[in-house]
Amino acid sequence: MALKTGDEYIQSLKELDLKAHVMGQAAGGLTSHALVEPSMRAVAQTYDCAHDPQSKDLFRVISPLCNEEVNRFTHLHQSAQDLVNKVRMQRHCGNLTGCCFQRCVGMDAANAVYSSTFDIDAATGSAYHQRFKEYWAWVQKNDLVVDGAMTDPKGDRGKRPKDQTDPDMYLRIKERRQDGVIISGAKLHQTGMLNSHEILIMPTISLRPGEEPWAVCCAVPTTAPGVRYIYGRQTSDTRKLESCRLDVGNPKFGGQEVLTVFEDVLVPWERVFMAGETAFSGTLVERFASYHRQSYGGCKVGVGDLLIGAAALAAQMNGVAAASHIREKLVEMIHLNETLYSCGLACSAMGQPTASGNYLVDMLLANVCKLNVTRFPYELARLATDIGGGLLGTMPAAADLEDPVAGPYIRKYLKAADGVAVEDRFKVLRFIENLVAGAGSVAYLIESMHGAGPPTAQRIMIGRQGDLEGKMQKVKSLLDLA
Ligand code: SF4
Ligand code: FE
């Protein structure tokens, strides 16, 4: 099947006709819903890029799984270069959209499930890997968007899944049947869920013997009976409902996060890829997390490029582009952003094949990448706010620009350097506002902190992978210590 265009993808979503609770209403027609549509357009870019002559070589790749050309967003990485190309592709998408384009989570989940199912089969004689290969070849051939679903609600964080008052606090197998499993629970913070065709469910923590019901990995269609969606609010999101688009900041694109409920959903056995193998849950979680921590070294960098560009434009519009302190701040922003990219590329270049054959990032470097992502975008946002100036927080509504009384005052007093249209100045400052304090800050800042796990999760992995013993041993050898 030919790779879909963005329009064909949007048409496929229309045919799914998903429903969700959005701002207190049961909503349908989501593909044209003012709050949802910008996020769908961001995903559509991942399809259009596979047809754009400038980018299609990066976005297209031959998959040995189905022996066809596929969109790299569905690819199982076959080399370290594939991992590098993934990060380059994500930076490109960030450059085009200025937001989360949502399609990476399924790609990261698939790569983790592929190698983990191979390992389960090798150890237990199960047949999950072949099942997953057949499922994923179908995803590739149909060029689908898959939501990788990991984060459970977790209830009381001090208790294990089986000790929770409500066992649904971690998504679980409620019943095993001849025709499949019945799952019950929820997944939080689901990026791009309403723009997806499929959901690939994984456990959220490393599980122990006795916790078998929670060790579940499986795939369900987004249209499956019993699945419900509740849309997540974002700062200033209702600006998207206003007729004037200028105040939205990023008027074309946006991200999407959804609380997804699974109420006694039947999953046929051919879509079950782990059912009780607690010993492998930790491996699956670690691999997925590492791939997604690598991802941030691409997507956040792409958005960072735009924030740097907007800060430079704001300085130019204010007539201070040549000031040495502005140049220094812009250089600092570039340095921070390229450091993130370097980490994304480094963990990719050092990737190694798994036993199943696909490539896994260097997990230590991927965690270093993400730990930096929990900090540097905040510093980039601080510097952009500094350069943008106080008007970022006090700008009148764009509608007032057209008001016969207020408009002329705004044009007179909010004019900056000669030759700069006030509307253009508004656009740039609103764009910065969107990323540092508006709807875009959900992906650029909050997700940089918590997406793919909070900083403590990276510190734990860095502590485990950092080989402190080996480092001490090196000193002992060098200094001839006993
Ligand atoms: Fe992709 Fe980044 Fe969005 Fe995650 S946050 S889905 S890596 S764009
Ligand atoms: Fe994410």
Among 273, 108, 115, smallest CA distance to 183 is for 273
Tell me if residue 11 falls in helix, strand or coil: helix
Domains 6-279 and 283-473 share a fold: no
Binding residues for FAD: 191
The strands making up 272-275's β-sheet, listed across from edge to edge, are 146-149, 198-201, 216-221, 272-275
Which residue(s) pair with 73 in the sheet?
Answer: none
Q: Which two tokens stand for residue 340?
A: 């993130």
DSSP 75: P
Q: 406 C-alpha to center of ligand 1: Å? A: 40
Q: How far apart are CA 366 and CA 189, in angstroms?
A: 21
Q: Which two tokens stand for residue 41?
A: 């357009």
Is residue 104 flagged as an active site residue?
yes
Q: How far apart are CA 378 and CA 158, in angstroms?
A: 30
Is residue 257 flagged as an active site residue?
yes
Q: 396 C-alpha to center of ligand 1: Å? A: 32
Is residue 299 flagged as an active site residue?
yes
Q: Does residue 116 have its Cβ closer than 6 Å to ligand 1? A: no
The answer to whether 123 touches 174, Cβ cutoff 8 Å, is no
Q: Does residue 101 have its Cβ closer than 6 Å to ligand 1? A: yes
Q: Does residue 451 have its Cβ closer than 6 Å to ligand 1? A: yes
If 0-12 CB within 10 Å is exposed, 13-18 middle and 19+ buried, where does residue 154 land?
A: middle
For position 223, what pLDDT does the model report? 98
Class of domain 6-279: mainly beta
Q: pLDDT tens track of the chain, all 482 residues?
A: 689 999 999 999 999 999 999 999 999 999 999 999 999 999 999 999 999 999 999 999 999 999 999 999 999 999 999 999 999 999 999 999 999 999 999 999 999 999 999 999 999 999 999 999 999 999 999 999 999 999 999 999 999 999 999 999 999 999 999 999 999 999 999 999 999 999 999 999 999 999 999 999 999 999 999 999 999 999 999 999 998 889 999 999 999 999 999 999 999 999 999 999 999 999 999 999 999 999 999 999 999 999 999 999 999 999 999 999 999 999 999 999 999 999 999 999 999 999 999 999 999 999 999 999 999 999 999 999 999 999 999 999 999 999 999 999 999 999 999 999 999 999 999 999 999 999 999 999 999 999 999 999 999 999 999 999 999 999 999 999 98
Q: Which atom of ligand 1 is nearest to the CA of 255?
A: 3
Which residue has the CA at smallest separation from atom 2 of ligand 1? 299
Q: How far apart are CA 362 and CA 297, in angstroms?
A: 13
- Give the β-pairing of 146-149 and 198-201: parallel
For position 482, what pLDDT does the model report? 86
Q: Which atom of ligand 1 is nearest to the CA of 295?
A: 7
Nearby residues of 157 by Cβ (< 8 Å), 6 or more positions away = none
Residue 333 half-sphere exposure toward CB, CA atoms < 13 A: 27
Among 153, 160, 157, 176, smallest CA distance to 262 is for 153
Q: Does residue 102 have its Cβ closer than 6 Å to ligand 1? A: yes
Which residue has the CA at smallest separation from atom 8 of ligand 1? 100
User: Rg of the chain's alpha carbons, rounded to an integer?
Assistant: 23
The answer to whether 214 touches 181, Cβ cutoff 8 Å, is no
Q: What is the pTM of this model?
A: 0.97
For position 1, what pLDDT does the model report? 65
Which residue has the CA at smallest separation from atom 7 of ligand 1? 295
Q: Which atom of ligand 1 is nearest to the CA of 102?
A: 6
Domain positions in the chain are: 6-279, 283-473
Q: Which two tokens stand for residue 84?
A: 């590098």
Name the residue with tokens 């200033």. 236
Interior/surface letters 219-247, b for 16+ CB within 10 angstroms, e for the rest = bbebebeebebebbebebbebbeeeeebb
Tell me if residue 138 falls in helix, strand or coil: helix
Q: What CATH superfamily is the domain 283-473?
A: Butyryl-CoA Dehydrogenase, subunit A, domain 3 (1.20.140.10)
Q: How far apart are CA 104 and CA 90, in angstroms?
A: 8
